[in-house]
Amino acid sequence: MKSLNLTSQRQAVYDIVRNSHDHPTAAEVMNRLMEQGHNLAYGTIYNSLRYLADKQLIRELKLGEAASRYDARLDDHQHIICEVCGAVDEVMTHVPQDWMKGVAEETGYQISHAHVVFGGVCPSCKAKAAN
């Protein structure tokens, strides 16, 4: 196992990500820490997120948005983004093996993993549009 150096700042950042289900950005992590009375510099938060991702305690998600999002759920899952409000949700459906095989055949790559990002309109935005 990798040796960990979880300073109090890193632990605070990790706790925010671990207890958030909306895949927060670094700015959202900072705001939540401030709400809890922490006063950490943005650089400290960013460096903590990078450290936690490097140690594989969290996953950095680059979902086509300007800012990365962070997820403490490390099991195999996909994501879906609302194209209206930007909400990010988890998708537990597995990537079909025939997709993996097809990509390997098309590219010549040996596929080790896949991360599929779906786009659409969330139920809340869909309901608002219907009214």
CATH code for the domain defined by 8-71: 1.10.10.10
Beta-carbon count within 10 A of 49 CB: 23
Distance CA 120, CA 52 (A): 30
* Higher-scoring residue by pLDDT: 66, 15: 15
Averaged pLDDT for residues 112-127? 91
Q: Are 69 and 57 in contact (CB under 8 A)?
A: no
The rounded percent of the chain whose pLDDT value lies above 70 is: 98
Beta-bridge mates of residue 89: 80
What pLDDT, on the 0 to 100 scale, is given for residue 62? Answer: 87
What pLDDT, on the 0 to 100 scale, is given for residue 49? Answer: 97
The SS3 assignment for 25 reads: strand
User: What are the residue ranges spanned by the domains of the chain?
Assistant: 8-71, 78-130
The answer on pLDDT for 2 being more than 60 is no
- Token pair in block for residue 127: 């309901």
Q: Which CATH architecture does the domain made up of 78-130 adopt?
A: 2-Layer Sandwich (3.30)
What pLDDT, on the 0 to 100 scale, is given for residue 76? Answer: 86
Helices 42-54 & 26-35, crossing angle to 10 degrees?
Answer: 120
pTM above threshold 0.85: no
What pLDDT, on the 0 to 100 scale, is given for residue 1? Answer: 45
| Predicted confidence (pLDDT) per residue in 32-68, tens digit | 999 999 999 999 999 999 999 999 999 999 887 678 9
81 burial level (CB within 10 Å; 0-12, 13-18, 19+): buried
